[in-house]
């Protein structure tokens, strides 16, 4: 039995093909609908947390947030799963990055591949630089505003909304994609030179 468990853990450590991981993400939608007519989305949790913590006299937060408490457990499961995966399933091998991408990132001043995210962008040192402030603080504000303005985030629209064949979710997803292309190809090279 011990060797079977060890074999299974070694199998889980390997990268999963897109069609397996994608199927698991896709099956989340019908599972939530079948288990209680619940709609998937991450950004709504911020609203629920604010409704739980802020005074009830603010109109936007005046609703029964306790009906949506399952969302907190869902996000908690995501965080717990990420923690367990990094502790028990991560590979000790160095992160492999495509040589073509390494060359492109070198032009941006990114050359640290020792962790999942480059320290040249995601560190306290870079946070207090102009480039870090624009990327992390400015980007965070834009993502927060954008997800509220769009009525949801990429997971709510692109996974749940498209599965429900909702036209607003198609428009939001196309907007996310266009915005991502503009950011990656036009704005990011400029910001990385700051």
Widest CA span in the chain: 58
Contacts of residue 86, Cβ cutoff 8 Å, sequence gap at least 6: none
| Residue 97 resides in a domain | no
Q: How far is CA 89 from CA 1, 73, 83, 92, in A?
A: 19, 22, 10, 9
On whether the CB atoms of residues 11 and 125 are closer than 8 A, the answer is no
Q: Are 189 and 108 in contact (CB under 8 A)?
A: yes
pLDDT score of 182 more than 90: yes
What is the DSSP secondary structure assignment for residue 106, as one 8-state letter?
Answer: H
Is residue 112 in some structural domain? no
- Residue 163, in any domain of the structure: yes
The number of distinct structural domains making up the chain is 1
pLDDT for 1 equals 58
Answer whether residue 24 is part of any domain.
Answer: no
Q: What is the mean pLDDT of residues 52-79?
A: 83
Residue 137: inside a domain, yes or no?
yes
Residue 167's pLDDT is what? Answer: 94
Q: Is residue 183 part of a domain?
A: yes
Predicted pLDDT of residue 181: 93
Full domain range(s) for residue 129: 121-194
* pLDDT at residue number 111: 86
Predicted pLDDT at 100: 92
SS3 of the chain: helix, strand, coil, percent, to 5: 70, 0, 30
Beta-carbon neighbour count of residue 113 at 10 Å?
16
Tokens of 50: 């604010």
pLDDT bracket for residue 191 (50, 70, 90)? confident
Predicted confidence (pLDDT) at residue 12 exceeds the cutoff of 80? no
Specify the pLDDT at position 80: 94
Q: Which residue has the tokens 């000790």?
A: 92
Q: What is the pLDDT of residue 146?
A: 83
Residue 149: inside a domain: yes
Confidence of residue 154 (pLDDT cuts 50, 70, 90): confident
How many Cβ atoms sit within 10 Å of the Cβ of residue 42? 17
pLDDT at 164 over 80: yes
Whole-angstrom distance, CA of residue 66 vs CA of residue 51: 9
Per DSSP, the residues of 36-57 read: HS----STHHHHHHHHHHS-TT
Mean pLDDT of the chain: 84
Structure tokens at 32: 């939530």
The per-residue pLDDT for range 20-38, each reduced to its tens digit, is 888 888 888 888 888 888 8
* 19 within domain boundaries: no
Q: What is the pTM of this model?
A: 0.73
Across residues 49-56, what is the average pLDDT?
Answer: 80
């Amino acid at each position: 039995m011990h060797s079977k468990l060890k074999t299974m853990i070694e199998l889980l450590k390997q990268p999963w093909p897109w069609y397996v991981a994608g199927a698991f993400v896709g099956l989340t939608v019908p599972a939530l609908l079948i288990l209680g007519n619940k709609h998937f989305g991450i950004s709504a949790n911020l609203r629920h947390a604010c409704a739980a913590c802020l005074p009830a006299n603010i109109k936007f937060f005046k609703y029964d947030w306790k009906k949506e408490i399952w969302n907190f457990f869902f996000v908690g499961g995501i965080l717990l799963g990420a923690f367990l995966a990094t502790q028990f399933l991560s590979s000790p091998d160095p992160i492999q990055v495509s040589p073509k991408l390494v060359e492109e990132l070198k032009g941006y001043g990114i050359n640290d591949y020792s962790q999942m995210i480059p320290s040249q962008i995601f560190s306290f040192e870079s946070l207090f630089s102009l480039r870090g402030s624009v990327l992390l603080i400015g980007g965070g504000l834009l993502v927060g505003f954008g997800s509220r303005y769009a009525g949801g985030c990429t997971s709510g629209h692109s996974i749940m909304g498209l599965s429900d064949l909702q036209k607003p979710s198609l428009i939001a997803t196309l907007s996310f994609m266009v915005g991502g292309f503009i950011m990656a190809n036009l704005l990011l090279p400029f910001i990385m030179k700051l």
